[in-house]
Amino acid sequence: MKYLLVSDIHGCRPALERVLRFYDEEHCDMLCILGDILNYGPRNSIPEGLDPKGIVELLNERAKEIVAIRGNCDGEVDQMLLHFPILGDYLLLVDEGRKLFLTHGHIYNKDQMPRGDFDAVVYGHTHLWELTPQGGTLICNTGSITFPKGGNEATFMTYENGVFTAYNMEGEKLKEARIG
């Protein structure tokens, strides 16, 4: 399967539309949303193209292809609107025997690792993309498609056959990393 991993949409419909075009053009099988879907949060500015209702419509059309977890800006009101679960703090994705720990990053991250053995820990939250081995685990931070920080550009990732690939919003590859 081919997974598209995205975090920190923060209500920006134009950014999500670009990612969904990539998802369709690259024939991805599942969209993994790592939190902060509809709300932009009090620490961020209002994003260009803020349209939470439009995002709900776009994502609900694809609900069967989505797994998601809760970000620090997501709440029960958001869950009422979305037709797929978002309130878990993490999910374990097992693909061809590889264990991927998906979370938002405000609870578990490279500095606060979850208990257990995982091939990759995947998160967003900091808005700083990263693909770095740490011990026997690959650290994957998808960055943000709306509010990149640290001089980075907006990013998302794919995962297929043990390989994570970071992309910018133009669909250009920035980096690849293989598990193990």
57 sits in which H/E element? helix 52-60
Say which range, 43-57, 136-150, 163-177, has the weakest mean pLDDT. 43-57
Kindly list the strands in the beta sheet with 66-68, ordered across the sheet, starting from the edge strand earlier in the chain.
66-68, 30-33, 2-6, 155-160, 163-168, 173-178
pLDDT computed for residue 152 by the predictor: 96
CATH of the domain at 95: 3.60.21.10
What φ, ψ does residue 115 adopt, rounded to 5°?
A: -75, 140
The pTM (predicted TM-score) of the whole model is 0.97
pLDDT tens across 9-50, in order? Answer: 999 999 999 999 999 999 999 999 999 999 988 888 888 899
pLDDT tens across 109-149, in order? Answer: 999 999 999 999 999 999 999 999 999 999 999 999 999 99
Residue count of the chain, please give it.
180
Instruction: Look at residue 164 and tell me whether its pLDDT is greater than 80.
Output: yes
Cβ atoms of 39 and 50 closer than 8 Å? no
Helix (H, G, I), strand (E, B) or coil at 160: strand
Domain of 130? 2-178
Cβ atoms of 9 and 59 closer than 8 Å? no
Q: Quote the number of domains for the chain.
A: 1
Alpha-carbon span 14 to 146, nearest angstrom: 9
Q: How far is CA 82 from CA 57, 64, 86, in A?
A: 9, 12, 8
Instruction: Look at residue 158 and tell me whether its pLDDT is greater than 90.
Output: yes
pLDDT tens across 84-111, in order? Answer: 999 999 999 999 999 999 999 999 999 9
